[in-house]
Structure 1
């Protein structure tokens, strides 16, 4: 891919600015705040778009910093580039309310879709992150971030394992980890659900057990009451001559003792008053009369008629006593049946609690899936490490070549280890990157970026360098410019210094200069 034309319609401080581009080195020179970085940002925006931040982030994001100074409604531009032997043109409008992108192949007039990934395809699958970590170097941003390691891991997997297919290793691992988290969440939810069910079942079982105890106490009381009633009936049967009315009627004297005493005195009185022998006869007659009187009184008392309420009560009481006993027996049987039902329910609840104690097949399935995902993650990481080791040798060799070219052989070899940790080999001695100068560190990172770009992308891409050579001495700057001229077809250098131009002139390297400001 090579850029052929930039048309900045309204972007930052620029309006209606057109820049032609060809192969070779393009030198954008300008003083501070002349707009060099704005052009660099414009190219990135045309390739990948510019997303607007939200909330507080929107006040200091790229969208806000590059908004047109005049006529912000026309926030747009055009970029013409060559890719795969064809010419393409992309128009973008970055406006808040009119954001859109149009991609057209100028050779055949075909309109392509940016949203459907056609632009990404033309860029060889390059993402904004990989762009920032390889071919585009911002001001004081020479060190690539850790995402470059992920890009290289993906490439290693694609190149060595998938034959160059489009496999995103990091995304695959992220997907598996998300699946693992989802399974762990399902396991937690399943356990929480079982725990909730168990607590509810235990509570219900405790209520049922409490009801059983209450019913047992109740049936005990009923048994006592029934036994008491039966004993009472037995006693009533034994007292045959005594009815209910006799018990409830108030006690009365049929012949009062005073009357008997008077009868005795009256019978004895003639013995002392009436002359003999008539006194005995009178005494006998009076005694007979008293006996007849007492006998009649006793006879009348026994034959005394009962009142109407007494007769009704005499008829009802035995029936009520009998009905009350039958009711008690029925209540006892009902409570016994309820106890049996409660015991059955309690037994079922105990079985449910025992079942809840077991993990169940669903839990085992989740555990098997989790174990399978963990195994897949482990195997992918192991395979990735093996493939990255293979790629690492290629990367080490290419980075070492670039570093040797820039440092004039000062460092014979460079080793890129895990997590993009870099070490240098000089005179058979291993040197950590933190032991060398700032300029050397930036040269190493530059070499790493260039080597990674060559490995990751089949089609050669332009290189964008924004004040990248500030810490380079003259010798290494000359070596770096020479390497770029010999190895890169299109290079954009943004600088506020004259050194690059003077060095290019001194070495006789052709370049295209664009004054900015």
Structure 2
């Protein structure tokens, strides 16, 4: 690509100014505040546009800096360039509310789609563009954008076609996906732990309540048993009173039997006296009869008296028995009347406690079942683990592929960096390379140095060599113009001449914006 002309219709301090460029090195000289940086920014803006930032950043962003000083509603320009054997024109309106870009092939008199502009830039985005062929501001140092662009270029076969796989973006997406999955897994695990703790706490409370209900039920049963035992003991006391009455009746019966026995003895003596002829025997029998009769009489008198006493005693005992029975029945009735509500309450409490214990037991079993099910429920976490494994595998695979591709292309890239560095340093530094993390190392005959161990001027030359080698690597099919703005301030005259000599031999178009005369003077010596 070769930039032919720019026209800044309304851009910063410029209003309708044009400038033409030729192949090779173009030195655009001007003192400070003459608009060199504005012109350089215009060229980049024509290729990529200028977006307005948000918030406080919008107050000093590129859009605000480059707005027209006059007639701010018109913010536009034109750039003509040559690619191959055809000439193209870019027309762009930068105004944020009316953005427009047109790409026209002047040679064929036809308009192309604006997206086709990326093909002429070899697929470079603005970050890669600014890290290779567009730099200034007193430093050629690059940022992570160059590393990402080169990695992507390597993945796409070194062709510079970054519309394919974006390794850096893909890795970032994978990292974000990994973080998202890990957060979700942590959330799921935390939720499961919280649920397990909640169920365990409920189980513990249910077990405690079951123990309390069981203790209450036992207490109610013991009180009911004691109440029934009290009633039973009262019945046994009544039975003992009846036995005492029967014993007294038995004593009366013994007296009656004694009286009958005396009568029987007298009758037996009489029969004996009549049957025996002996006088003595008869006298004895008579005596026995008399005594027996006296005994019978005695028992008769006693019997009558005993009967009277017995009748009185029986009447008294009946009265006492009836009174005791009455008192017992009364006491039992009173106890029953007194204990009936207690017993009813006790039975009701017992029934309620038993039902509550059964319900609590059912709830406990359900909670234990939930706990077992939750322990077995790992489906969501396992699914997240599978996704995480896939992401880790993709990250490892991408890293391995990137490393393999780096090894394949890095040797060529590092060789080109070293070659350019050797030329522009007059052979003082012959080796420089990028490691797989894109950290720059410098090889000297004595030792291997980090870039921070060399002088500022040498550091700038190393970055310059790295930019040029990477630009060639990414733009293998077409060479983009090199746009520099006071890029050689730290160079001494010798380093500057060596660098300008290399640029003059590179065949690349260079737009060199500077506030110094020495670049033009050195170029005059080179071209003489």
TM-score, normalising length from structure 1?
Answer: 0.76
Q: Describe how 1:110-509 pairs up with structure 2 within 5 A.
A: 110-113=111-114, 117-159=115-157, 166-235=164-233, 237=235, 325=343, 328-329=346-347, 331-357=349-375, 360-427=378-445, 430-457=448-475, 458-508=477-527
Change (3 A) 1:334 1:46: same
Deviation at 1:481, TM superposition (A): 2.2
State how far apart, in whole Å, the 2-side matches of 1:11 and 1:229 are.
108
1:15 is paired with a residue whose SS is: coil
Change (3 A) 1:322 1:33: same
1:40 corresponds to which residue? 40
1:10 corresponds to which residue? 10
Q: Describe how 1:82-97 pairs up with structure 2 within 5 A.
A: 82-83=82-83, 85-97=85-97
State how far apart, in whole Å, the 2-side matches of 1:325 and 1:142 are.
101
2:80 is paired with a residue whose SS is: strand
Aligned partners of 1:4 and 1:21 also within 8 Å = yes
2:157 is paired with a residue whose SS is: helix
2:19 is paired with a residue whose SS is: strand
Change (3 A) 1:323 1:413: closer
Q: Describe how 1:42-61 pairs up with structure 2 within 5 A.
A: 42-61=42-61
Deviation at 1:194, TM superposition (A): 0.8
Structure 1: runs of 5 or more not aligned: 242-294, 303-313, 510-517
1:14 is paired with a residue whose SS is: coil
Q: Cα deviations across residues 283-304 of structure 1 (Å, max 9, x unaligned)? A: xxxxxxxxxxxx9xx99xx9xx
State how far apart, in whole Å, the 2-side matches of 1:325 and 1:459 are.
107
State how far apart, in whole Å, the 1-side matches of 2:335 and 2:494 are.
131
Deviation at 1:138, TM superposition (A): 1.7
State how far apart, in whole Å, the 2-side matches of 1:442 and 1:160 are.
25
State how far apart, in whole Å, the 2-side matches of 1:488 and 1:329 are.
110
Q: How many residues align?
A: 444
State how far apart, in whole Å, the 2-side matches of 1:328 and 1:121 are.
95
1:159 is paired with a residue whose SS is: coil
Q: Which moved more, 1:100-109 or 1:180-189?
A: 100-109
2:110 is paired with a residue whose SS is: coil
- What RMSD over aligned residues (CA atoms) do the two structures have, in Å? 3.6
State how far apart, in whole Å, the 2-side matches of 1:320 and 1:105 are.
116
Q: Cα deviations across residues 333-385 of structure 1 (Å, max 9, x unaligned)? A: 45324313322322332343355456724323323432342233233223322
Q: Describe how 1:97-112 pairs up with structure 2 within 5 A.
A: 97-106=97-106, 107-112=108-113
State how far apart, in whole Å, the 2-side matches of 1:323 and 1:434 are.
100
Deviation at 1:193, TM superposition (A): 0.5
Aligned partners of 1:160 and 1:387 also within 8 Å = no
Aligned partners of 1:105 and 1:112 also within 8 Å = no
State how far apart, in whole Å, the 1-side matches of 2:480 and 2:81 are.
11
Task: Flag the structure with larger Rg.
Answer: 2
Deviation at 1:229, TM superposition (A): 3.5
Q: Cα deviations across residues 64-107 of structure 1 (Å, max 9, x unaligned)? A: 22222222221221222334654433332223433333334443
Aligned partners of 1:146 and 1:419 also within 8 Å = no
Aligned partners of 2:123 and 2:160 also within 8 Å = no
Q: Which moved more, 1:384-393 or 1:458-467?
A: 384-393
1:22 corresponds to which residue? 22
Structure 2: runs of 5 or more not aligned: 240-314, 323-331
Deviation at 1:177, TM superposition (A): 1.1
State how far apart, in whole Å, the 2-side matches of 1:328 and 1:411 are.
105
State how far apart, in whole Å, the 1-side matches of 2:490 and 2:343 are.
113
Aligned partners of 1:205 and 1:349 also within 8 Å = yes
State how far apart, in whole Å, the 1-side matches of 2:451 and 2:333 are.
119
TM-score, normalising length from structure 2?
Answer: 0.74
Q: Cα deviations across residues 240-293 of structure 1 (Å, max 9, x unaligned)? A: 79xxxxxxxxxxxxxxxxxxxxxxxxxxxxxxxxxxxxxxxxxxxxxxxxxxxx
State how far apart, in whole Å, the 2-side matches of 1:37 and 1:90 are.
20
State how far apart, in whole Å, the 1-side matches of 2:159 and 2:73 are.
49
State how far apart, in whole Å, the 2-side matches of 1:149 and 1:228 are.
93
Q: Cα deviations across residues 22-47 of structure 1 (Å, max 9, x unaligned)? A: 32222211111111111001111111
Deviation at 1:202, TM superposition (A): 2.2
Q: Which moved more, 1:429-438 or 1:322-331?
A: 322-331
Deviation at 1:232, TM superposition (A): 4.3
Q: Which moved more, 1:168-177 or 1:140-149?
A: 140-149
